[in-house]
Homo-oligomer: A and B are copies of this chain.
Amino acid sequence: MEFRLIDRIRERTAQGREDVRLGIGDDAALVAPPAGQEVAIAIDTMVEGVHFPQGIAPADIGWKSLAVNLSDLAAMGATPSWALLALTLPRQPVEQVQSFIDGYAEGFAQLAQSYRLALIGGDTTRGMLTVSVAVHGFVPPGQALTRAGARAGDVVLVTGTLGDAAAGLRLLQAGARVAEGDGRAAYLIERLHRPTPRVKAGLALRGRATACIDVSDGLLADLGHVCEASALGAEIDASLLPRSSMLLGAFDETMTRDLALSGGDDYELCFTVPPSLVAEVQGDLARLGCGATRIGRMVEGTGVRVRDEQGQWLETTHRGWDHFA
């Protein structure tokens, strides 16, 4: 069983990489890491009903399960290379399993191809729909971005826009149907199902960002991790939070702010740079098409504090907004 399913995926995800000496089909894969590079490795699991709703297209699951892992590599400033897949599928007729696999592989491959990422190993088992992907990437020694290097006075920036994916989830949960021509809902839901890992941005930040993390749990929670790891606090301005016109058109101001602060699943990068590098970094990221917005700065202390439009401190918990917990 395992081999034939994984073979279906392999056929759809083949990548000619010289550093893959032995791909799917033996007891283990064999790869040759480039000399003098460190290897960044991450693993992430998505469970149906927890990380994605039932009924989501298999291709979207394929895309997103890889995207969330590539986002981890992006946050380290690593160049993606190889992935492994552990797929647990419910017992169902073989045609349904094959159809799921084909869709999954298609979405996975669409994203993998952009990075010449090779799927080198996999395992399929029976159970609840659960997808674990492990990814590998390269980074020159000592150049990886971590959560720990921020300094007081560094500027906090974030790529792209925040809150879209959480807004898309709200629309889905509310049973919103994406009407023909409703570009706004379609955009927000696409942001939920097909996040763009900021791999190129992560590479561009090497040697300049002092700390970096991807926004998976929500800005407050994730910037909180940077604060903890860097033994600092952060102050951000709600008025500076980058929000898409689609988001702003779909919800009122307070809701868009809350979604931008605490909605997860955006997979943008939140990073810190010394003030002297902000303009240069912003220019470079703009040329890569994702943009970066300054939203605050690192300060002595602990935790993330948020100023509202009137300059008042918002009451936030350390982990985010309770009504999104």
Contact = CB atoms under 8 A, between A and B. Distances in A.
Given A30-B38, A42-B121, A47-B126, 14 more contacts: A25-B229, A26-B229, A28-B135, A28-B137, A29-B41, A33-B39, A39-B39, A41-B82, A43-B84, A43-B121, A44-B123, A47-B88, A47-B127, A50-B126
B30 A40 contact: yes
B132 A27 contact: no
B134 A43 contact: yes
15 contacts: A21-B38, A27-B147, A28-B75, A30-B38, A31-B41, A39-B39, A43-B123, A44-B123, A45-B88, A45-B125, A47-B125, A47-B127, A50-B127, A86-B132, A128-B130
A35 B127 CA distance: 40
A257 to B, nearest CB: 25
A76 interface: yes
Nearest to A85: B43
A305 B76 CA distance: 52
A120 interface: yes
Interface of A is mostly: strand
Interface stretch (A138-146, A243-251, A296-304, A307-315): A138-146
Contacts of A134: 43, 84, 86, 134
Given A26-B229, A33-B33, A38-B30, A122 B88 contact: no
A227 interface: no
Interface residues of A, number: 61
A88 B88 CA distance: 11
Interface of A: 21-22, 25-33, 35-36, 38-47, 49-51, 71-73, 75-76, 78, 82, 84-86, 88, 120-123, 125-128, 130, 132, 134-137, 139, 141, 144, 146-148, 212-214, 229
B72 A28 contact: yes
A323 to B, nearest CB: 18
B21 A42 contact: no
Nearest to A122: B43
Given A125-B50, A130-B127, A86 B43 contact: yes
Nearest to A82: B41
A25 B263 CA distance: 22
Contacts of A122: 43
B213 A27 contact: yes
Given A41-B82, A86-B45, A76 B28 contact: yes
A50 B123 CA distance: 14
Contacts of A126: 47, 50
Contacts of A33: 33, 39
A31 B39 CA distance: 5
A25 B31 CA distance: 25
Nearest to A217: B2
